[in-house]
């Protein structure tokens, strides 16, 4: 076969594949637009705590303030797509991230779609410049669509880690406050007022506990909500101990003192386990560095010996 004919055939096949990819993406975009336009919208509800978080973020982040109206409008248009189970799962992810930017589940979906569109534009430009064709476009859509999820998941993990680390100190402060004669709401108020960082996730959670009790809900309900929003082992034990103390009539100050001691002991044990694991994990890199150094030292000598032979 003539090489020029074979090359022309391969080029035609590549062109056909690119056109097919573009046509599929156009059909998918049209189907998405039709689904968004034809889906019934839900009645907007009050945001509550998320509304306060959104106002704070809008005042601090100019970029989010510029695109927030578009996200809110698209979220309303896409509100009929999600089922109740999907909406509950997205709400749970946003709640674990501390009501990230005051988003709702519908706006989370809208932000994902907008991010995928932005990734498609970047991928198309990159594919045109680097001559990668439709592959760069597909990769851009996938990465763009995954960015909101990765961002919210990362914020949630960091938030839960900070809550688990800071709770033993908060329990100590509450135990001292209740030992000095304050009641439980007064001890919680001390935690909120004495904090130097109002954006700390623990301060936000204890502020929410205090506001919940001020609205007339019971202490048990406020604590259970705290455990739901921060499902880490330290928080679960803290909530369970306080709920059991309330049900059995045990002194809350003594329970808090015991819980603080247990939390500090567990944190020390975890630190020792992490240090032990770090020592084991460092063996591999150290051995690799050792062999590299030995190779650099022994390599020239072996080369001279082989040359002499």
The CATH number fitting domain 159-281, selected from 2.30.29, 1.20.81, 1.10.3470, 2.60.40? 1.20.81
Residue 162 confidence (pLDDT) above 80: yes
Q: State the pLDDT at residue 43.
A: 47
Between 22 and 178, whose confidence is greater?
Answer: 178
In 10 A of CB 32, how many CB atoms?
15
Number of H helices, E strands in the chain: 12, 0
Contacts (Cβ under 8 Å, ≥6 apart) of 299: none
| Gap between the Cα atoms of 306 and 298, Å rounded | 12
Q: pLDDT tens, 297-307?
A: 777 777 777 76
> Of the candidates 167, 246, 261, 258, which has an alpha carbon nearest to the alpha carbon of residue 213?
246
> Of the candidates 37, 34, 102, which has an alpha carbon nearest to the alpha carbon of residue 74?
37
**Mean pLDDT, rounded, for 21-39:** 59
Distance between start and end Cα atoms, the chain: 51
As given in the structure block, the two tokens for residue 298 are 């022994």
Between 283 and 44, whose confidence is greater?
Answer: 283
Q: pLDDT tens, 82-134?
A: 888 888 898 889 888 888 888 888 889 899 988 888 888 888 788 777 777 67
Q: State the pLDDT at residue 7.
A: 53
Q: State the pLDDT at residue 237.
A: 85
Q: What is the DSSP string of 208-240?
A: HHHHHHHTT--HHHHHHHHHHHS--HHHHHHHH
pTM assigned to the model:
0.70
Q: State the pLDDT at residue 198.
A: 74
Q: State the pLDDT at residue 2.
A: 46
| Gap between the Cα atoms of 78 and 107, Å rounded | 8
Q: pLDDT tens, 245-299?
A: 888 877 777 888 787 777 777 777 777 777 777 677 777 777 888 777 877 777 7
Confidence of residue 56 (pLDDT cuts 50, 70, 90): confident
Give yes or no for a contact between 255 and 243, defined as CB atoms under 8 angstroms apart. no
Q: State the pLDDT at residue 235.
A: 87
Give CA torsion, residues 265, 266, 267, 268, to 10 deg: 50
- Cα four-point dihedral sign 194, 197, 199, 203: negative
Confidence of residue 30 (pLDDT cuts 50, 70, 90): low
From start to end of 14-163, where are the E strands?
none
Residue 45 confidence (pLDDT) above 70: no
Q: pLDDT tens, 172-190?
A: 888 888 888 888 888 888 8
Give residue limits of the domains in the chain: 7-155, 159-281
């Amino acid at each position: 076969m003539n090489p020029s004919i074979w090359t022309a055939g391969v080029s035609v096949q590549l062109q056909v594949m690119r056109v097919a990819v573009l046509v599929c993406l156009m059909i998918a975009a049209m189907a998405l637009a039709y689904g968004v336009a034809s889906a019934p919208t839900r009645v907007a509800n009050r945001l509550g705590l998320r509304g306060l978080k959104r106002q704070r973020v809008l005042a601090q982040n100019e970029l989010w303030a510029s695109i927030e109206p578009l996200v809110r409008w698209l979220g309303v248009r896409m509100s009929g797509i999600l089922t109740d189970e999907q909406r509950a799962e997205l709400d749970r992810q946003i709640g674990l991230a501390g009501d990230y930017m005051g988003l709702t589940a519908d706006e989370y979906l809208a932000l994902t779609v907008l991010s995928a569109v932005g990734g498609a534009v970047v991928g198309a430009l990159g594919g045109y410049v680097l001559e990668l064709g439709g592959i760069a476009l597909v990769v851009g859509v996938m990465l763009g669509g995954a960015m909101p999820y990765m961002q919210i998941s990362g914020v949630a993990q960091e938030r839960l880690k900070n809550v688990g680390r800071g709770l033993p100190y908060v329990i100590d402060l509450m135990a001292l406050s209740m030992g000095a004669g304050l009641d439980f709401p007064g001890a919680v108020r001390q935690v909120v007022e004495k904090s130097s960082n109002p954006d700390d996730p623990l301060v936000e959670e204890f502020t929410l506990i205090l506001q919940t009790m001020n609205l007339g809900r019971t202490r048990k309900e406020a604590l259970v909500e705290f455990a739901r929003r921060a499902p880490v082992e330290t928080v679960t034990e803290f909530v369970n101990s306080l709920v059991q103390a309330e049900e059995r009539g045990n002194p809350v100050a003594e329970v808090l003192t015991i819980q603080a001691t247990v939390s500090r002991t567990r944190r020390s044990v975890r630190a020792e386990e992490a240090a032990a694991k770090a020592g084991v994990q460092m063996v591999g890199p150290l051995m690799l560095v050792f062999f590299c150094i030995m190779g650099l030292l022994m390599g020239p000598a072996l080369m001279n010996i082989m040359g002499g032979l």
